[in-house]
Amino acid sequence: MEGKSMLKLSHVLAFLLLASLFQSLMARDLISDGIEVLQLPVENDGEFVFCPGKQSWPELVGKSAGYAKQVIEKENSIVHEVRLLFPGMVRPLNYVCGRVFLVVDFKLVVQVTPSMG
């Protein structure tokens, strides 16, 4: 029994020694290194949003996809990707800040309110 308890104690001491060598990981350190950090949603007019700026564009329904893309990129500077989806296509479930989906018909006319995600 003496040997097993010494082995456990040595494992605990080794763990503590290794743990003391690592610097604590803090979000502000990651941001200063240029690494993106997941931000929690903020409340905006009673609604929680992840991304700053305009989130949806209902006024673009019925407009051409090219025009809609220009308006979206002009009104929200964080938009870096505008994707076209045709009716029936599956929209990805992950939320990406800066990505907007345009659901269009075969004439490339917006059919559903474009939204961030």
Q: Dump the DSSP string for 17-31.
A: HHHHHSPP--HHHHH
Provide the residue range defining the domain that includes 84: 2-116
- Number of separate domains in the chain: 1
- At 1 the pLDDT is 54
CA-atom Rg of the chain in angstroms: 24
- At 51 the pLDDT is 76
Mean pLDDT by 10 residues, the chain (117 residues): 75 75 56 55 57 87 94 90 88 84 92 88
Residues 6+ apart with CB under 8 A from 89: 103
What CATH number does the domain containing 80 carry?
3.30.10.10
Distance CA 73, CA 8 (A): 59
Helix segments in the chain, DSSP class H: 2-21, 27-32, 65-75
**For tokens 């006319």, what's the residue?**
109
